[in-house]
Structure 1
Amino acid sequence: MYKVDSALRLDVRIHPFRAGIDTRGAVAARIACARPTPGKPPVIKESNVTSEQMHALASKLARVKSEQNIAAAMTIYHPDIELAAPSFDARQCGAAAVEQGLQVFFALFPDYQIELHKTAYQGATMLASGQVRVTPHVPGQACPCVSVPVFLELEFRDARIYRETFFLDAGLLCRRAGIAPEQLRAAAAEAQRALKQTEVRAC
């Protein structure tokens, strides 16, 4: 059973890039002070991290990522960090891969801002809902700053964030920004190529 800051009902719709804007998958999360199923007591994971510590780390991560400060973010992530963004069909494992993924992400969303509104905790896991504001950087397009809901699942280990799953409606983001998912996907691919070229020149 989750310890919640307040009763929270989240219904986040995900539009995977690979499926396009017309195909909807759904991720629903219900967090409430619900009674356990009769005969099936809730399984509570043992944890040496408190909800206060988890909240402090998540809040710090939100702040430094809103500053696009990758170096500071990497001090909050565990060395074996796993970062997944299903709506962008993206997953990175390990500090080096996550750092590169953040470089591409911030190239795509250079003014990324996130605010966390509601949270819930169980063991070493934290769930949070909030709002993201971004201006997509798409070559040839003058995109407006848009705001969309976000849902995070964070797992903690050794007083750091060990796993982050980032749910955001990419289809809604594209519609509000006036672009097609294919354009955002192409911009992400271009940012990835530019990063690789930079790494080659550095060598």
Structure 2
Amino acid sequence: MRGEYEQMYPGDAVTDWIGVSIFAHELCMPIYDNGYLYNGTPPQNYDTAALQCRNAYIGTDSWGNPAAVWKNWDYDGNVLKMMKFAKDHGKPMIVSEAGMMNFTADGSDTRGLETARGDQWVKRFFGLMNYSGPVPNLSGNYDLSGVIKAATYINLDFRYGWDGIQDGSFDFPVNSTWFADGRLSQYGAARTSFCQGLSARSFTTPC
């Protein structure tokens, strides 16, 4: 859970891996569900033009004193802090589930924004695994590039529900969060970026 992991952590002695889900908000991308939902409230803590979260880290002012520095982020602050937490405790992380969500507000065809935003989603997904830089609400910079060591992508057409039943018995509504064809094979740029990400990260499962 992005916000409660410290309270739920059972301790180093009984923990092998720390898991996190990566969908839309974890990558600071909006989803469609009866209107657009952002990971924050525009314009204070979400930049709708850049599709990025806005948050502050502890930097310095012009006199060298500690000060809040506002920044646009590709990643949810809780996820970055969770990665730092895992590194501090010497634990590897697994993206236990990941998948695209409904990018399109047209109420019918999901091939609208997925072509471009699907590729953006994939690049942010692998970019998270290579993250190095500041962390919201903290001071300093952190190299978190080696923390995530495994990942699971849910390569399904969610429009027909989790079980892929095409008789309409378990369809997701067109205005719901999960109404999206999440199969990477449907989006050339996203698939290419995913293959490149697997190769660059030396995953044991090839494209």
Mark yes or no: TM-score above 0.5.
no
Structure with the higher helix share, 1 or 2: 1
Question: TM-score interval w.r.t. the shorter chain?
Answer: under 0.3
